[in-house]
Amino acid sequence: MKFSVKAWSKGRARVGILQLPGLPVSIETPCLLLSTRKGLPHFLSPDLLSSLPSPDSHLLQVSPLHFLEGLSTKTISNIGGLHQMLALQDYGFSAVPRDSIVCLPESDASNKMGASFETPCGRFLIKPVEYMKMTSSLGPNWWVSLSDEVPAWVSEKRNKTSVDRTVRWLDECIMSSQTDGAVFGAIVGGCSVEERKRCAAEVMKHDVSGYWIGGFGLGENIDERPALLDAILDIVPEEKPRQVCGLELPEEILQGVAAGIDIFDSTYIYQLTVGGFALTFPIDNRKTHAISHYQLCDIGSDLTKINLRAVVYRKDDSPIVDECGCYTCQNHSKAYLNHLLNVHEMLAQILLEIHNTHHYLGFFRSIREAIKSGEFLEFHRDSTVNEPRLNKPSLKASFHHRPRRRLPPSAVPPPESPSFNSNQVENGGG
């Protein structure tokens, strides 16, 4: 993996170039890793994935834990690893232990041997060696070391332990790695600036290609983040890429970019999609946009997104976003999406994932352009996504209350496999 910083804005925001062996194109950062279920975006088969902007859509996140049950590491190796198994040879994969959707760290059950995760197949304690066995069979372009992530409210002692374990596991992961994918060292440390610094300093002693910052989105106050991010990004070398997990919403992305993050590992598109939401905020906020989509009766909508389940869209024959070039907006109306959501048809999620991914990738492109033109501070300041929410059922509930999934109260459907029970209505001609 090659990474170089190409442009800086005033402040820490930066544009970089990421080159991955085997990938014909290089990818500019700040960028988004698309969240996947077993390597494919949740509802997008590869033919649909290829309709998304290229190369922006060519980075995918994969959780090796998804293959705990179902496929043996031997079979995955026989098939030829991730790229071959998913028929996505031109794509870059980043292996991260958790997926932030159905595969989440369960810090109470983690111990010195390994990290514990709640997964659809039950609770698993994963040891570094096992994690690396799975990861090595998958052969991702880069992988993140196993970490002991803890939520914000744990004791100082527990937080220290998590840093100690995470650093030790990095050693163990590197030692047992059988893959030539690049290593990203995990940095944790919860809400303690000191522990964050200590963890970063320890990880820097290892031969890593980049850094992964975990432990966010786990109950910390959003205002604490800049100091925590700064503590890390002040000391890690500039020339290596920085990936973050847990910064997901548009305003959180801006916060991360402002702090100097390059790669975002986010499940926001999935959360929106299964909730029936579509992103509508102006991607390029230097254009003045009338906020036309906002409707009071449209529950769950705000300045960034609309809830397509809302009755107001029943007869709306316009696309989600008029000027959007995605397949969904070019071919389908809000009314059709509203109908598909009403009757629990899977095509709703397919079309929404296409639009939301397209839209979010566009947002990242605008961020890069703003950095390159030296105007990121203005872009950040003026962005619509910072404006106070009117209806605030935020997509983020506190970690205490969830912790399985984050859905707004207005989102009705079960998040996993919406409309995927086999006894749905489908009837023949008679």
Q: Which stretch binds other proteins (CB under 8 A): 144-152, 202-210, 348-356, 361-369?
A: 348-356
Contact 414, 407 (CB under 8 A): no
List the alpha helices (DSSP H) in 58-127: 73-79, 82-85
Closer to other proteins by Cβ: residue 71 or 201: 71
Task: Name the minimum Å distance from CB 273 to Zn ion.
Answer: 12
Rounded to 5 degrees, what angle do the CA atoms 405, 410, 411 make? 50
> Pattern 190-229, binding to other proteins, x per CB under 8 A?
----------------------------------------
Q: Which stretch binds other proteins (CB under 8 A): 35-43, 161-169, 286-294, 402-410?
A: 35-43
Contact 61, 143 (CB under 8 A): no
For residue 355, the partner it binds in Zn ion, other proteins, none, with Cβ less than 5 to 8 A by kind, is Zn ion
Q: Is 58 helix (H, G, I), strand (E, B) or coil?
A: helix
Rounded to 5 degrees, what angle do the CA atoms 398, 164, 61 make? 55
Of 129, 204, 335, 397, the one binding other proteins (CB under 8 A) is 335
For residue 235, the partner it binds in other proteins, Zn ion, none, with Cβ less than 5 to 8 A by kind, is none
For residues 250 and 258, give the distance between their C-alpha atoms in angstroms, rounded to a whole number: 12
* Residue of 29, 11, 8, 12 whose CA lies nearest to 361: 29
Check residue 42 for interaction with other proteins (CB under 8 A): yes
At which residue do the structure tokens 């997509």 appear? Answer: 395
Residues tagged in the binding site annotation: 324, 326, 329, 355
Residue 53: burial class (beta carbons within 10 Å; 0-12, 13-18, 19+): middle
Residues tagged in the binding site annotation for Zn(2+): 324, 326, 329, 355
Output phi, psi for 171, to 5 deg. -55, -50
* Residue of 285, 271, 238 whose CA lies nearest to 393: 271
List the alpha helices (DSSP H) in 215-372: 225-233, 250-259, 268-274, 327-331, 334-342, 347-372
Contact 219, 151 (CB under 8 A): yes
Closer to other proteins by Cβ: residue 204 or 347: 347
Of 33, 59, 67, 305, the one binding other proteins (CB under 8 A) is 67
Closer to other proteins by Cβ: residue 91 or 364: 91
For residue 324, the partner it binds in other proteins, Zn ion, none, with Cβ less than 5 to 8 A by kind, is Zn ion
Joined tokens for residue 254: 């801006």
Task: Name the minimum Å distance from CB 358 to Zn ion.
Answer: 5
For residue 272, the partner it binds in other proteins, Zn ion, none, with Cβ less than 5 to 8 A by kind, is none
Residue 186 pairs with which residues in a beta bridge? 212
Check residue 94 for interaction with other proteins (CB under 8 A): no
Check residue 295 for interaction with other proteins (CB under 8 A): no
Task: Name the minimum Å distance from CB 416 to other proteins.
Answer: 8
405-424 residues near other proteins, rule: CB under 8 A? 417-420, 422, 424
For residues 337 and 351, give the distance between their C-alpha atoms in angstroms, rounded to a whole number: 8
For residues 213 and 211, give the distance between their C-alpha atoms in angstroms, rounded to a whole number: 6
Task: Name the minimum Å distance from CB 49 to Zn ion.
Answer: 15
Rule CB under 5 A: which residues touch Zn ion?
Answer: 324, 326, 328-329, 355
* Residue of 252, 240, 250 whose CA lies nearest to 208: 240
Joined tokens for residue 411: 């989102």
Closer to Zn ion by Cβ: residue 244 or 326: 326
Task: Name the minimum Å distance from CB 279 to Zn ion.
Answer: 9
> Pattern 100-139, binding to other proteins, x per CB under 8 A?
--------------------x-------------------
Closer to other proteins by Cβ: residue 24 or 70: 70
* Residue of 117, 110, 115 whose CA lies nearest to 145: 115
Output phi, psi for 385, to 5 deg. -70, -15
Which residues contact other proteins by CB under 8 A? 37-38, 40, 42-43, 45-48, 67, 69-72, 74-75, 78-79, 85-87, 120, 314-315, 317, 327, 331-333, 335-336, 339-340, 342-343, 345-347, 349-351, 417-420, 422, 424-430
